[in-house]
Amino acid sequence: MNLSDYKGILVVGEIYDNKVRPVTYQLISKGRQLANDLNTKLYAILLGNNISQFANDLIYYGADIAYIMEDKILENYVAELYSAVLSKFIENLKPEIVLIPATHTGREYGPRIAAYLQTGMTADCTDLQIRNGKFIQIRPAYGGNIMGEIITPNHRPQIATVRPNVFKAENYDKNRKGEIVNVKPDLSKVNLRTVIKEIVKTTQTGTKKVDEARVVVSGGRGIGSKEGFAILQELADLLGGAVGASRVAVELGWMPKSAQVGQSGLTVAPDLYIAVGISGTIQHIVGMKDSKIIVAINKDPNAPIFNIADFGIVGDYREVIPIFIEELKKELKK
Amino acid sequence: MLDFTFTEEQEMIRESVRDFAKKKIEPIALKMEETHKIPDEVIEGMAELGLIAPTVSPEYGGQGFDPVTAGIIAEELSRADPTGSIPVFYLVQASWGHVFNKYGTEEAKKEILPNVTKGKWFLGIATTESDAGSDVLGTKTTIRKEGNKYIVNGEKMYISGVREAYTRGGGHITIAKQFPELGAKGMTLFYLPLQSKGIIPQYIDDLGREGISTGGFTIDNVEIPPHYIIGQEGKGFYIVHEGYEYARGLIAVISAAAGLKSLERGMNYMKQRKAFGLPLAKFEALQFKLAEHYTKLSYLRWGAYYALWLYHQEMLGKASRFEVSKAIAMAKMFAQEWACDAIDDVMQWQGAFGYSKECVDQVAWRAIRSFGWAEGTKEIMKVIVSRELLGKEYISYK
Amino acid sequence: MKILVLVKQVPDTSDVKFDERGVMIREGIQSILNMFDQYALEEALRIREQYGGEVSVMTLAPEQAKSALQKCLALGADKAYHISDRAFGGSDTLATSYALSLAIQKTGPYDIIFAGNQATDGDTGHIGPQVAEWLGIPHTSYVEKVEKIENNVVTVKSLLEDGYRTIEMKLPALVACIPPPNFEYSNPTMSGIIKAKNKPYIWMKADDIDGDKSKFGLNGSPTRVVKMYPPPKREKGQIFTGDYREAVRKIIEHLKEKKVIE
């Protein structure tokens, strides 16, 4: 592999529910910054059918070239199909860096591309940097309790996946100029053995989306039971917020996966994040560290969550939260 | 060859039991103090895993486990259940299941043991009477042969699992005098189903192990079939000691485990709690107590495993009855005292809280206190060791 | 049916303790079978119950992972393959998936391959998809359940963030599993543990799998971890250890000030 043959940064976007998924623009914004640091071009690609109307936004967010790969066969996402056509595309384009959204689909087809191209892939990066011309991929390591910096020194492209809301979509400029290129998928090696029989959406009635709420009250192992979350819901309701959970609380079946905050869950940045009975592993912290105000309640004075909290109360949530609710009610009455 | 490691298989067993105990026993343990029973779900779970009377041979539903492996299971159950209810439920059935397996008739084993290992019936031991505990020969309950059946009369008292066997099913391995003139050679051991006509139970409200019942029962002309005799007529006194010894070995492991677990709670407490600006853990008065108790209980634990290992050697024909009796008595001699002393200090470190019903350690203390007399008093352990050291001619009484 | 389950032993990071500096204590951390892999195994055993066949488990790991494979045998797997060799040291997911695919070809062919969707230490989720790519077979990730296998086609339920898809794949295929919430993991039974002793446990070295040795281990790993460090700290806040009501009042005051509550 001659590394100098590889130039440019490619962002693979995602179409979901006939719309461009916001993480696409977040990665383009970050990609734009990296491309500027490397003094190179930024490409973006969308796959699907009837998607040409989305091309402009890719440019306006920062792509120099927006590739639109349209075909009836791409209308519905299928892992082995998308990985095959993207692999061929990337093989031809030869970008030095590829960014893929770490959504369920991205985490499904993405690794296949890395294996096809026999190159390195880093999953769920929480930051990306260019330092001395090197692409540094940063993510939590060892079960999420330490930060690790990863490089792909001798292989190209360097592939990184990033979860939604890790970066911000910004600098939308309708005056940006760029190129729109239509490409046909290379189906020569595709041997489709997968069929999507149905897609079912299960909408939750009444529960606020955790990654859209202004206030999140989150519970961890310290809550102790499913029932324990009821009082967190009460507090969240008072504050007009949503209830989140740590990975442990979800694994123990106390809260649904959709409420999970952390590296393998949602990344949130609300105005107020109240962490209750959460010890604060990096695994969790990377999912909420950008919250404006962090309040932590935990029995263990050594819990790492207190290192990032603006306010902390050492105590049993069963005693603290009722008092919180009481005082809050008094305050809101005023 | 000295090898203080457990086998890979034993480590897997330990892990599986520990995991089960963490998920299914720990969350419900303290509730047993109020409900006074082991939840059906837990018994079913234990049966499913193969933890009930695992000392019984596989053809009767057991696992054919050796005493050390049986000890490992006891240890993990003890760590998870501070009330001691499940450890007692386990140790009684494991020990007396072994005796039944070794000496019972084929017919009785096929009839009864599979129900025990499945968790349907409870298998207990009933030798103690109101007027006779340590003095087994003081038993007043009688058994006599009449044609093709046996008739039993008498009463038993301070028996574990009376309610369990009476309500769910099962029975107790019971000792009675068949030939009074023969003394120790005139006692017979047999299986007594507790739901038999002529059995009237009563229950005692005791200090701990609330999840398993303690009680007694009167036996009024109860008939038992010949295939329920365990071992031979007249050999009961000797056979019963094999059961006591198995149980004592398990009790020693259980006591050590409960004491060590209590010390762990105590250690966490002394690291958090401050007095005079320092965590309690910085004061040598507490450090020394911790070190002393930990040392004694660790030696107790190894002594217990050694005794259980020796018991296994006897099963393999590589050790004598007397060596085993001595080692087991040594293991149990201080088990209750050392564990209760450690737990008592853990309570003391917690000051007033240690005296409240909220404190888990007082639950453990009350549980382990029963081992001062259960399956053989600590005093009798001293009699046994003295006898083994000095010889039979120095025994003052039979 | 020949069924294979790929498994990994991971540190038990769910019960991590911290010292007074907030640094994770690494000593005494147990190693356990990755829970996602245990779920994959339990699904595989369920499929074997239904359709018959043989379930093998396989890992690429140092010797100590033996206890994880033993647990799989105790849970009901028929055979274990343990690929262990110094040559594999330092492998990233690409090198690992490559070696696994070679071992799979050597010991296969398999009708269906199960894997956990991700491992709780790395959380990358790469192995399943990459092994499938190396083998040239279709795969689905986030599979919560295998619905059925009929006419050489497997039907699975695969989770989306806000729903699920029902997907059919022609066998051979790979299924990367994720347990449903509240899943009750089985504990090995005593008889399972006893039986495990007598089941085939096959060790494989680098020489036992035919492949390009330059793609093994550190040399075969395109990614490198170059640095590890504790997480960045925010400015230390106010930690209250005394009266709860006082603490709560102060916090509410601050929230009012910052207009979080009005």
Whole-model pTM over 0.90: no
Q: Is the pLDDT of residue B26 over 70?
A: yes
Strands of the C224-229 sheet, one edge to the other: A127-131, A134-141, A146-151, C224-229
Helix spans in A205-263 (H):
229-239, 247-251
Instruction: Report the candidate in B215, B21, B253 with the shortest Cα–Cα distance to residue B126.
Output: B215
Residue pLDDT, tens place only, C102-141: 999 999 999 999 999 998 877 889 999 999 999 999 999 9
Phi-psi region of C6 (alpha: psi -120 to 50; beta: other; left: phi over 0): beta
| Numbered residues of chain B with Cβ closer than 8 Å to any chain C Cβ | 8-9, 11-13, 15-17, 19-20, 23, 48-51, 54, 58, 63, 65
* B237-394 topology per CATH: Butyryl-CoA Dehydrogenase, subunit A; domain 3 (1.20.140)
Residue pLDDT, tens place only, A177-211: 999 999 999 998 889 999 999 999 875 655 677 88
Residue pLDDT, tens place only, C196-242: 999 999 999 999 998 999 999 999 999 998 888 876 667 778 999 88
Do C237 and A312 lie within an 8 Å CB cutoff? yes
- The secondary structure of chain B in percent helix, strand, coil, rounded to multiples of 5, reads 60, 15, 25
C154 neighbors A187 (Cβ within 8 angstroms): no
What was the pLDDT predicted at A141? 72
Q: Which positions in chain A touch C140 (Cβ < 8 Å)?
A: 79, 108, 194
Q: Which positions in chain C touch A331 (Cβ < 8 Å)?
A: 252, 256, 261
Q: Average model confidence (pLDDT) for chain B?
A: 95
Name the amino acid, one letter, at B101: N
| Contact pairs from chain A to chain C, CB under 8 Å | 275
**CB-based contacts of C28, cutoff 8 Å, min separation 6:** none
pLDDT confidence bin for A262, thresholds 50/70/90: confident
Residue with tokens 């094999």: B242
What was the pLDDT predicted at A106? 96
Residue with tokens 């004491």: B259
Please give the Cα distance from B28 to B83 (Å, whole number): 10
Q: What is the mean pLDDT of residues C172-193?
A: 92
A303 neighbors A324 (Cβ within 8 angstroms): no
Q: Which positions in chain A touch C245 (Cβ < 8 Å)?
A: 323, 327
Q: Is the pLDDT of residue C22 over 60?
A: no
CB environment B120-140: b (16+ within 10 A), e (fewer): ebbbbbbbbbeebbeebeebe
Q: Is the pLDDT of residue C71 over 60?
A: yes
Q: What is the mean pLDDT of residues C182-194?
A: 92
* B8-122 topology per CATH: Butyryl-Coa Dehydrogenase, subunit A; domain 1 (1.10.540)
C81 neighbors C199 (Cβ within 8 angstroms): no
B82 neighbors B261 (Cβ within 8 angstroms): yes
Angle made by CA atoms C172, C173, C176, in degrees to the nearest 5 = 155
Instruction: Report the candidate in B168, B175, B223 with the shortest Cα–Cα distance to residue B201.
Output: B168
B245 neighbors B94 (Cβ within 8 angstroms): no
Beta bridge partners of A19: A16
ipTM comes to 0.90
Distance of CA A308 to the CA centre of its chain: 21
Q: What percent of chain B has pLDDT over 70?
A: 99
Nearest to C241 among A281, A286, A301 (CB): A301
What was the pLDDT predicted at B398? 63
Put simply, the chain C residues between 183 and 202 with a CB less than 8 A from any chain B CB are 187-191, 193-194, 196-197
* B123-230 topology per CATH: Butyryl-CoA Dehydrogenase, subunit A; domain 2 (2.40.110)
- Encoded tokens for C165: 């898809």
Do C190 and B65 lie within an 8 Å CB cutoff? yes
Do A148 and C225 lie within an 8 Å CB cutoff? yes
Q: What is the mean pLDDT of residues B66-73?
A: 98
Helix B360-369 to helix B236-272 angle (10° resolution) is 160
What was the pLDDT predicted at A206? 57
Q: Is the pLDDT of residue C35 over 80?
A: yes
Residue pLDDT, tens place only, C94-105: 999 999 999 999
Q: Which positions in chain C touch A197 (Cβ < 8 Å)?
A: 155, 165-168
Q: What is the mean pLDDT of residues B10-19?
A: 96
The beta strand positions in B87-240, using DSSP E, are 122-126, 142-146, 149-160, 170-177, 187-193, 199-204, 214-224, 229-230
Say whether residue C64 is in contact with chain B using an 8 A CB cutoff: no
User: Which of A79-88, A262-271, B370-379: highest mean pLDDT?
Assistant: A79-88
| Cα of C37 to nearest chain B Cα, Å | 17
CB atoms within 10 A of CB B101: 18
Beta bridge partners of B191: B173
Please give the Cα distance from B60 to A23 (Å, whole number): 62
Q: Is the pLDDT of residue A122 over 60?
A: yes
User: CA neighbours within 13 Å on the CB side: how many for B46?
Assistant: 27
Task: Please provide the distance, in angstroms rounded to a whole number, between the alpha carbons at the two ends of chain C.
Answer: 64
Nearest to B50 among C189, C196, C197 (CB): C189
Domain ranges of chain B: 8-122, 123-230, 237-394
pLDDT confidence bin for B95, thresholds 50/70/90: very high
What was the pLDDT predicted at A79? 96
Q: Which positions in chain C touch A327 (Cβ < 8 Å)?
A: 245, 248-249, 252
| Cα of B25 to nearest chain C Cα, Å | 14
pLDDT confidence bin for C18, thresholds 50/70/90: low
Instruction: Report the candidate in B36, B93, B91 with the shortest Cα–Cα distance to residue B62.
Output: B93
Nearest to C223 among A112, A150, A310 (CB): A150
What was the pLDDT predicted at B197? 93
Name the amino acid, one letter, at A168: K
Q: Which positions in chain A touch C159 (Cβ < 8 Å)?
A: 104
| Cα of C65 to nearest chain A Cα, Å | 17
B229 neighbors B150 (Cβ within 8 angstroms): yes
Please give the Cα distance from A67 to A6 (Å, whole number): 18
Q: Nearest chain C Cα to A246, which residue? A: C14
| Domains of chain A, each with CATH number or no CATH | 3-183 (3.40.50.620), 210-333 (3.40.50.1220)
Q: What is the mean pLDDT of residues C80-101?
A: 95
Q: Which has the higher per-residue pLDDT, A189 or A48?
A: A48
Domain ranges of chain C: 2-220
Please give the Cα distance from C172 to C40 (Å, whole number): 16
Q: Which positions in chain B touch C74 (Cβ < 8 Å)?
A: 12, 16
Residue pLDDT, tens place only, B109-152: 999 999 999 999 999 999 999 999 999 989 999 999 999 999 99
Please provide the size of chain B in residues. 398
Enter the CATH code of domain C2-220.
Answer: 3.40.50.620
Please provide the size of chain C in residues. 262
Q: Nearest chain A Cα to C227, which residue? A: A149
